[in-house]
């Protein structure tokens, strides 16, 4: 039986993938909202991650405004078996003609890609661009661990995971879950902390459990969605 999206109907899938290694990941720098691209290793991670989901139908894509997540999405989709054409939808771009970048007419092969700042990485404030080890030497390993892994403690001038969740979860509820309820399979390419906040919500993790959660780069995490419940495959 075919669902609304045109493929064999089953439980809708939510596919989450953290971007591949970025230039500042490789340099051991706090990145946050600084917009840096992938390394060669990150490109390969994105391609390999895409091969892992190449057989799964994808109806809609969501990514952040940051190039490392967008590169990861496009590289992963380049491996997909359906051969759809990803088209990025720039919402509220401030131009006088916001519809100039929209296709005209019905094009069945389009795969819509929605760009949302709400999916951006946690903003690291005064730490952005600084070396991890230098900050550890200055403040101590324990303090840096708290800044990076706690739920409600933010780095100087930056966001806590709780603050990040205050933008990612409403986006999940308003932009992604309605599509899942329509039977669509959704692919989200984002960041370690924006995905941690989403996973904390959909897996109902405690504050203690979220401290231990590490989202690997370039590895798809696949969830089946059934009437408001997510189950990791």
Please give the positions annotated as active site.
19, 121
Q: Which of 72-81, 126-135, 142-151 has the lowest mean pLDDT?
A: 142-151
In the structure, how many helices (H) and strands (E) does the chain have?
9, 7
Q: What is the pLDDT of residues 175-191, one digit of tens each?
A: 999 999 999 999 999 99
| Domains of the chain by residue range | 13-91+109-232
**DSSP state string for 17-84:** EE---BHHHHTTB--TT----B-HHHHHHHHHHHHHTTTS---EEEE-SSHHHHHHHHHHHTT-TT--
The whole-model pTM stands at 0.92
- Indicate left, alpha or beta for 207 from its phi (over 0: left) and psi (-120 to 50: alpha): alpha
Q: What is the pLDDT of residues 6-63, one digit of tens each?
A: 554 689 999 999 999 999 999 999 999 999 999 999 999 999 999 999 999 999 999 9
**Which CATH number is correct for 13-91+109-232, 3.40.50.1240, 1.20.140.10, 2.40.170.20, 1.10.10.10?**
3.40.50.1240
């Amino acid at each position: 039986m075919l669902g609304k999206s045109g493929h064999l109907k089953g439980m809708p899938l939510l596919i989450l993938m953290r971007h591949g290694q970025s230039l500042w990941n490789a340099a051991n720098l706090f990145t946050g909202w600084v917009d840096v691209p992938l390394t060669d290793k990150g490109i390969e991670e994105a391609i390999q991650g895409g091969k892992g989901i190449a057989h799964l139908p994808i109806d809609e894509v969501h990514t952040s405004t940051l190039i490392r997540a967008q590169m990861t999405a496009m590289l992963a989709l380049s491996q997909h078996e359906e051969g759809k054409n990803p088209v990025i939808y720039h919402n509220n771009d401030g131009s006088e003609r916001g519809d100039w970048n929209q296709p005209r007419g019905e094009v069945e092969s389009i795969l819509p890609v929605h760009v949302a700042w709400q999916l951006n990485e946690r903003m690291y404030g005064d730490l952005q661009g600084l070396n991890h080890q230098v900050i550890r030497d200055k403040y101590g390993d324990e303090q840096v661990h708290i800044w990076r892994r706690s739920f409600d403690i933010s780095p100087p001038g930056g966001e806590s995971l709780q603050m990040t969740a205050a933008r990612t979860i409403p986006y999940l509820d308003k932009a992604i879950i309605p599509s899942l309820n329509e039977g669509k399979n959704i692919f989200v390419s984002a960041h370690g902390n924006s995905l941690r906040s989403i996973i904390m919500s959909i897996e109902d993790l405690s504050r203690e459990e979220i401290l231990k959660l590490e989202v690997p780069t370039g590895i798809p995490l696949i969830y089946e969605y059934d009437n408001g419940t997510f189950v990791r495959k």
